[in-house]
Structure 1
Amino acid sequence: MATPENLDTTARPRRPATLRSQRVKEALTGYGFVLPAVALFALMGVYTIIYGLLLSFARWNGFTPHWTWVGVGNYLDLLYRDPVIAPVVQSAALRTVVVMVAVPALAVAIGFPLAVLLNSITRLRGFFRTVFFLPYVTAGIAVFYAWTYVLQPDGSLNYVLRHLGLGTLAQPQGFLGNPSTALPTLIVVMAWSAIPVAMLLYLTGLQSIDSSVLDAARTDGAGTLRTMTAVVWPLLRPITAAVVMLNMRDALQGFQIFLVMTNGGPGGHTTVLGLESYNLAFFSGLRPTLGLASALGWLLFVVALILAAINVRVLRSRT
Structure 2
Amino acid sequence: MTALGTPSAAAPGTVGAAARPSRRRAAPGGRGREAVTGCLFVAPALLLFAVMGLYTVGYGFLLGFARWNGFAPHWDWVGLDNYADLLWRDPVYAPRVREAAVNTLSVMVAVPVLTVAVSFPLAVALSRVRRAQAVLRSVYFLPYVTSGIAVFYAWQYILQPDGAVNYLLGVLGLGSLQEPQGFLGDPATALPTMIVVTVWTEVPVAMLLYLTGLQTIDRGLTEAAALDGAGWWRIQASVVWPLLRPITAIVVLLTLRSALHGFQTFLIMTNGGPGTHTNVLGLEAYRLAFLAKFAPTLGLASALGWMLFAVAIVLALINLRALRSRV
User: TM-score, with normalisation over the residues of structure 2?
Assistant: 0.92
Q: Secondary structure at the match of 1:52?
A: helix
Q: Match for residue 208 of structure 2? A: 200
CA–CA distance in structure 2, aligned partners of residues 151 and 186 of structure 1 = 11
Alpha-carbon offset, residue 66 of structure 1: 1.4
Q: Match for residue 252 of structure 1? A: 260
Amino acid across the alignment from 1:106: L
Summarize deviations over 1:130-166 as a string: whole Å, max 9, x none. Answer: 1111111115111111111111122122222222222
Q: Match for residue 186 of structure 2? A: 178
Summarize deviations over 1:280-305 as a string: whole Å, max 9, x none. Answer: 11111222111000000000000000
Amino acid across the alignment from 1:13: R
Give the one of 58, 61, 66 matched to 1:50: 58
Amino acid across the alignment from 1:227: I
- Whether 1:15 and 2:28 are equivalent positions in the alignment is no
Superposition pairs of residues 200-279 of structure 1, within 5 angstroms = 200-279=208-287
- Whether 1:39 and 2:81 are equivalent positions in the alignment is no
Give the one of 101, 104, 110 matched to 2:109: 101
Q: Match for residue 25 of structure 1? A: 33
Aligned residues: 315
CA–CA distance in structure 1, aligned partners of residues 124 and 249 of structure 2 = 18
Q: Match for residue 5 of structure 2? A: none
Give the one of 176, 181, 187 matched to 1:168: 176
Structure 2 gaps of 5+ residues are 1-7
Give the one of 289, 300, 306 matched to 2:314: 306
Amino acid across the alignment from 2:152: F
Alpha-carbon offset, residue 97 of structure 1: 0.6
Superposition pairs of residues 134-149 of structure 1, within 5 angstroms = 134-149=142-157
Amino acid across the alignment from 2:89: R
CA–CA distance in structure 1, aligned partners of residues 29 and 83 of structure 2 = 54
Alpha-carbon offset, residue 178 of structure 1: 0.9
Alpha-carbon offset, residue 16 of structure 1: 3.6
Q: Match for residue 4 of structure 2? A: none
Amino acid across the alignment from 1:310: I
Alpha-carbon offset, residue 11 of structure 1: 4.6
Q: Match for residue 71 of structure 1? A: 79
Question: Is the CA contact 1:153–1:172 (under 8 Å) kept in the aligned structure 2?
Answer: yes
Amino acid across the alignment from 1:30: G
Summarize deviations over 1:90-119 as a string: whole Å, max 9, x none. Answer: 000010011011111111001000011011
Alpha-carbon offset, residue 172 of structure 1: 1.5
Q: Match for residue 122 of structure 2? A: 114
CA–CA distance in structure 2, aligned partners of residues 148 and 23 of structure 1 = 62
Alpha-carbon offset, residue 26 of structure 1: 3.0
Whichever of the two has the greater Rg, that structure is: 2
Question: Is the CA contact 1:139–1:193 (under 8 Å) kept in the aligned structure 2?
Answer: no
Q: Match for residue 294 of structure 1? A: 302
Amino acid across the alignment from 2:135: F
CA–CA distance in structure 2, aligned partners of residues 22 and 260 of structure 1 = 58
CA–CA distance in structure 2, aligned partners of residues 23 and 142 of structure 1 = 54
Q: Does 152-161 or 126-135 show the bigger shift?
A: 152-161
Distance 1:310 1:79, change over 3 A: same
Alpha-carbon offset, residue 24 of structure 1: 3.1
CA–CA distance in structure 1, aligned partners of residues 197 and 245 of structure 2 = 25
CA–CA distance in structure 1, aligned partners of residues 184 and 159 of structure 2 = 7
Root-mean-square deviation (Å): 1.8
